Amino acid sequence: MDQSPFARQVSDDVFGYVQPDGSWWINNCGFVAAGEHTVVIDTCSTERRTRALLETAAATGGAPVTTVVNTHHHGDHTNGNYLAAGATIVGHRKTREAMVATGINTYGNSFTGSDWGHLELRPPEVVFDDRLTVHAGEVRLELIHPGHAAHTTNDVLVWLPERRVLFVGDLIFNGGSPFALMGSPAGWRKALDLVRELDPETIVPGHGPVCGPEAIDVVDGYLGFLQKLAAHGKAAGLTPLQAAREADLGPYEALSEQERLPANLHRAYAELDGLDWGAPIDLGAAMADMVTFNGAPIRCFS
């Protein structure tokens, strides 16, 4: 029986933990109730939200959380790792590297309003490079890194092949603007081809409602639009911020978090300059442009 309005059963013993409204720092998670133990997919950005997730997962499955899988390093998916006491944290090798290198980031100059609570850094203890299989009772979870940068350098798909369920992390924002600043628009589009090849019936996105494969084309279309906008902006001598301000978003006007556009353009411009997918760029300048585009620090509700 569900113990939270956020828990939605997507297959036998498999639950998406969907947090409205999916905006900045409000992510989706998931869990598999495996009988004697529970496997959780991602934690949350704040202490309060993560405690609620872990309590729901343990209560729904009737068993303690023994394993947490991280889909990438961003704080809205990892800040709460430390609260899963007694559980093993699993993630990509680069997830651990990024978390160790940067610590907990709340980007206080860019965001306001979050109730972080007490946070402690806890990166994955078990890491992998390409693929790893996790068994949760009768449920098989295939952890798949696309092999290159996409949303980040360290994205992990959590694929349940017998259930046709995919926890896709932030490779899908359902209803929100994709955020490519720390990854690669080109690499992301290639990763979406992998998502199509898996042929999921049910997708639990990193943000927004549970969906089907129709959401893939929306994200892919936005990234293609971003690449064309960047090419036009660079050719016209516009800065990323200027190009964002002049953009006609067309079918993507309805997506939330439009302030991500100038930051995305910083990454797309870098790729046009020949920078490798996911290579470091000036994140501070990109996020400053995002705040300028928004007109103020971005209000969060986490």
Residue 2 has pLDDT above 80, yes or no: no
Farthest CA pair distance, the chain? 61
Higher pLDDT, 107 or 5: 107
- Give residue 3's pLDDT: 55
What CA–CA distances, in Å, run from 59 to 7, 8, 47, 48, 225? 11, 14, 18, 17, 44
The token duo for 273 is 């300059």
- Asked if the model's pLDDT at residue 225 lies above 80, the reply is yes
∠ Cα 72 79 128 (to 5°) = 35
Model confidence at 1: pLDDT above 60: no
In this structure, the number of other CB atoms found within 10 A of the CB of residue 100 comes to 12
Each domain of the chain, given as residue ranges in start order, spans 6-221, 226-299
- At 16-56, the pLDDT tens digits run 999 999 999 999 999 999 999 999 999 999 999 999 999 99
Residue 151 is encoded by which pair of tokens?
């949303």
What architecture does CATH give domain 6-221?
4-Layer Sandwich (3.60)
* Percentage above 90 pLDDT, the chain: 98
pLDDT at 4 over 90: no
Residue 53, φ and ψ in degrees, nearest 5: -60, -50
Does residue 3 or residue 93 have the better pLDDT?
Answer: 93
Q: What is the mean pLDDT of the chain?
A: 97
Is residue 26 within 8 A of residue 207, CB to CB? The reply is yes
Per-residue pLDDT reduced to its tens digit, 62-111: 999 999 999 999 999 999 999 999 999 999 999 999 999 999 999 989 99
Asked whether residue 252 carries a pLDDT value surpassing 50, the answer given is: yes
Residue 208 has pLDDT above 70, yes or no: yes
Closest CA to 181 of 105, 100, 127: 105
- Closest of 2, 7, 64, 69 to residue 36, by C-alpha: 64
Global model pTM greater than 0.75: yes
